[in-house]
Chains A and B, each alone.
Chain A
Amino acid sequence: MAASRKPIRWHIAVFLAPAVLVYTTVMILPLFGTLQLSLFRNTPDGQVFAGLENFRTLLGDPRWSANFWNALWNNTWFFIIHMLVQNPIGILLAALLSNPRLRLRGFYRTAIFVPTILSFVIVGFVWKLILSPLWGIAPDMLDLVGLKSLFEPWLGKEEYALTTLALISVWQFVGIPMMLIYAALLSIPDEIIEAAECDGVTGIAQFWKIKLPLILPSIGIISVLTFVGNFNAFDLIYSAQGAMAGPNFSTDILGTFLYRTFFGFQLQIGDPYMGSAIASMMFLIILAGVCLYLFGIQTRLRRYQF
């Protein structure tokens, strides 16, 4: 690195300062101010320090732990579907779109991205309408291809609801991996592609042998972003199924569990202490995943500079 011999490199501080300042005041201090509540408890005498008591309750008391493990497992399933469906589709679409000779690619790229810009209110409404057994869009369409017998009230069945919602979420967010990978593929210089073509490596082989290794860091990023996004997910479930994440908590993920606990719901009074304990657990889970990526994967990824 060029500048490593200078005594104090003020420019580093200048580059970092604005971001760190805003981020620390408006985000980090309030968030950790709240998270530390997880070590306290409310008693008739006011707030008292409780150590790890709340965590013991969360993981040990069946009234809490059953909900917690249920939400954690549902969340994991939600994530698995995104990794298996959203990211491969996103990469495929990006690979197809990055072909400079493809016509209409601007149109496709925009069209496929449109769901991503919709608000959750609309997404929840329209999918409930489409999948509704009453108003007939999905049943009629299945009827057209003679598969009406396959129709189920998916959002109302414990065994299907979560998977259905995960797929709706994939539908909504596939634009994100697509765009990131697309941007990464664009950064591959023409020379490399031309050289590959001279060697007779084209088409699908070119993608696997040349481009894929080059975009691996970006695939790493989308995996980590998917992980983080999914374990913080909340809005879609909330707008489609409500805070109770029915039926029978089968779509309850950590985000909805946290919301009910922290802010309360209906007659349930919000409990910032247990809520913060849940949030801390979520934070630790996500942190573990991100550290795995930062220290285990990112440092080992071969990066090519162009």
Chain B
Amino acid sequence: MSRATSSLSRSIAAHAILILYTVIALFPVIVIIINSFKERRAIFRTPLALPDSETFSLIGYRTVLDQGNFLLYFQNSLIVTVVSLALVLIFGAMAAFALAEYRFRGNTLMGLYLALGIMIPIRLGTVAILELMVASGLVNTRTALILVYTAQGLPLAVFILAEFMRQVSDDLKNAGRMDGLSEYRIFFRLVLPLVRPAMATVAVFTMIPIWNDLWFPLILAPAEQTKTVTLGAQIFLGQFVTNWNAVLSALSLAIIPVLVLYLIFSRQLIRGITAGAVK
């Protein structure tokens, strides 16, 4: 078999696998979206049918816009997510650099200490965290959420980033030191750009649980002014009846901002920068 045909068949096989998996991944998402445009009965009568002139309905979206202040909720979610994310990335990268770069007493222990947080569900600390926020007057502020999410995101960020930073060439850093760069400059100028794909990955992993979290907004900031989207959508989940139109609409809308953030970060997943800098 010639090399060309084998590479062609390989590429067909690759596309086949990827298309198949894309279908599996997107099918349920499409079910959600088409049903968010249908009236309640049609959701259950014919869940797979596209909305037609009879079943098409914007009732869900209209309910979402009428009930509560979803624009504000979106704004809150976005502020909380973006600020926490920025803090997690910068603090996390700094700590990861310290662990990956320097040999000092207690290095591994510090690594373990910073990883403890991913081993215990933070929900467990709810009462203590809430007491802390009550004592510092932060209940019903976005600051409370940002603090919790920053703390919650750090362990994973440090864990992943440290691993990637260990793979950054020593020669490069030592060359930097020869040129008289301070450790801070080495970190910000040399190392950070090199681990951009890892930073982007961590950013994506960190933002998703923050955006989708229901528990801490419910406990720490349930006030109208600080409600997040996920919490706002909960109003449609009743004890005996759920307004699925509204839930599906609200949460379909809630996908968009995270998707945009994801697209922004995934642009950092480009190999050129990495390869170029090493030379």
A residues at B contact (CB < 8 Å): 1-4, 9, 11-12, 14-16, 18-20, 22-23, 25-31, 33-35, 89, 92-93, 96-97, 99-102, 104, 106-123, 125-127, 129-130, 134-137, 140, 171, 174, 176, 179-180, 182-184, 186-187, 189-190, 203, 217-218, 221, 225, 228, 232, 234, 255, 258-259, 262, 275-276, 279, 282-283, 286-287, 290-291, 294-295, 303-306
A–B pairs, 9, beta carbons within 8 Å: A102-B14, A111-B25, A117-B259, A119-B254, A120-B212, A126-B32, A183-B200, A232-B119, A304-B167
Give the secondary structure class of A's interface.
Answer: helix
Tell me if B160 and A23 are in contact (CB < 8 A): no
Give the docked Cα–Cα distance between A64 and B182 (Å).
57
Q: Closest residue of chain B to A95, judged by CB?
A: B14
Tell me if A189 and B275 are in contact (CB < 8 A): yes
Binds A, one of B50-58, B60-68, B127-135: B127-135
Other A-B contacts than A11-B183, A22-B151, A97-B18, 8 sampled, CB-CB below 8 A, are: A23-B117, A29-B128, A34-B127, A114-B29, A115-B28, A140-B48, A187-B271, A234-B123
Give the one of A34, A35, A217, A279 with max B CB within 10 A: A34
Number of chain B residues whose Cβ lies closer than 8 Å to a Cβ of chain A:
111
B residues at A contact (CB < 8 Å): 6-7, 10-11, 14-15, 17-18, 21-22, 24-26, 28-29, 31-32, 35, 43-44, 47-48, 87, 90-92, 94-95, 97-98, 101-104, 108, 110-129, 132, 147-148, 150-152, 154-156, 158-160, 163-164, 166-170, 173-174, 177, 182-184, 187, 197-198, 200-201, 204-205, 208, 211-212, 214, 230, 233, 237, 244, 247-248, 251, 254-255, 258-259, 262-263, 266, 269-271, 274-275, 278
Tell me if A19 and B94 are in contact (CB < 8 A): yes
Q: Residues of A contacting B97 with CB < 8 Å?
A: 15
Tell me if A306 and B151 are in contact (CB < 8 A): no
Distance (whole angstroms) from the CB of B64 to the closest CB of chain A: 14
Task: Answer whether A135 and B47 are a contact pair too, CB < 8 Å, given A31-B122, A34-B128, A287-B119.
Answer: yes
Give the docked Cα–Cα distance between A18 and B91 (Å).
6
Task: Answer whether A34 and B117 are a contact pair too, CB < 8 Å, given A217-B163, A305-B169.
Answer: no
Q: Closest residue of chain A to B24, judged by CB?
A: A171
A9: which of B102, B148, B237 is its contact (CB, 8 Å)?
B102
Q: Closest residue of chain A to B108, judged by CB?
A: A294
Tell me if A121 and B170 are in contact (CB < 8 A): no
A3: which of B102, B128, B155 is its contact (CB, 8 Å)?
B102
